Amino acid sequence: MRAPFGARITTAVSLRGPLCVGIDPHPSLLEQWGLPVDATGLEAFAMTCVEAFGGEVAVVKPQSAFFEAHGSAGVAVLERLIAACRESGALVLLDVKRGDIGSTMSAYAQAYLGEGSPLAADAITVSPYLGFGSLDPALDLAEKYGRGVFVLALTSNKEGPQVQRAQDANGVSVAQAVVDEAATRNAGASPLGPVGLVIGATVGRTGLDLSALNGTILAPGFGAQGAGLAELRTVFGPSLKHVLPTSSRDILRHGPDVTTLRDAALRVRDSLGAHAI
């Protein structure tokens, strides 16, 4: 049996440090690396990242869209990437942001969290905006198989606040309602539960009460998007110990040389110091 996700990510971070490296094969990055913008370039990019990061960082985060853009050949590369990362010892957080209802959500859950699926990752990102309860198929399957789910709560895109900071009649924001639902799912788990949150590292003071979450917080925006340690402290305060900063472009721009890429990732990881889950 696979250990619960909360235990696995706690162990990974304690051994390898609190950093998630995004694997985002954007067409401009493929070109910058001197690679063709096709499935062969995608494969070279992905496997270079595995060689550079797979044995060093706690978590890697492939962005599924950049693979899907190349059709079945791109999805096949994503399958091989997930398998290679798993062999290297890094946890795979697949950034797919799925969110649907009923049998459709169940199918997404089977694809990305089910045993035996070639796309099954250690964790995925999901969107709660059809109602948190619509995520139950993914949450249930993740818990069953020792995987994790990271729910969008307060993102850094400029359109996000219109929905995420909206308040109900009692003055509770949508983002806080997401936090509270996640905390309910994680209650009693040790050392952490399987439900994490996505909160941007650049959003400033959130006004959120994260004290009961008992889960991991993924913090995109560290590095190239402008967030450093000071911003992390401002956004997360006493919950910083549960934060997993993620950096993509700031590291990937150092490719395609494997050693240079690895050194860039290690510099970012080491800059985070003893901040650990």
List active site positions. 97
Q: How far apart are CA 20 and CA 9, in angstroms?
A: 11
Q: SS in 3 state form for 91-106?
A: EEEEEEEECCCHHHHH
Dihedral angle sign, alpha carbons of residues 24, 25, 30, 33: positive
The answer to whether the CB of 244 falls within 8 A of the CB of 217 is: yes
Sign of CA dihedral 247, 248, 250, 251: positive
What does DSSP say about strands 217-220 and 59-62: parallel, antiparallel, or unpaired?
unpaired
Decide: 64 and 57 in contact? Cβ < 8 Å: no
Tokens of 31: 């070109």
CA pair distance 221, 232, nearest whole angstrom: 10
The span from the CA of 94 to the CA of 66, in Å, is 12
Secondary structure of 211-226 in HEC code, one letter for each residue: CCCCCCEEEECECCCC
Task: Select from 219, 197, 127, 200 the least CA-distant residue to 157.
Answer: 200
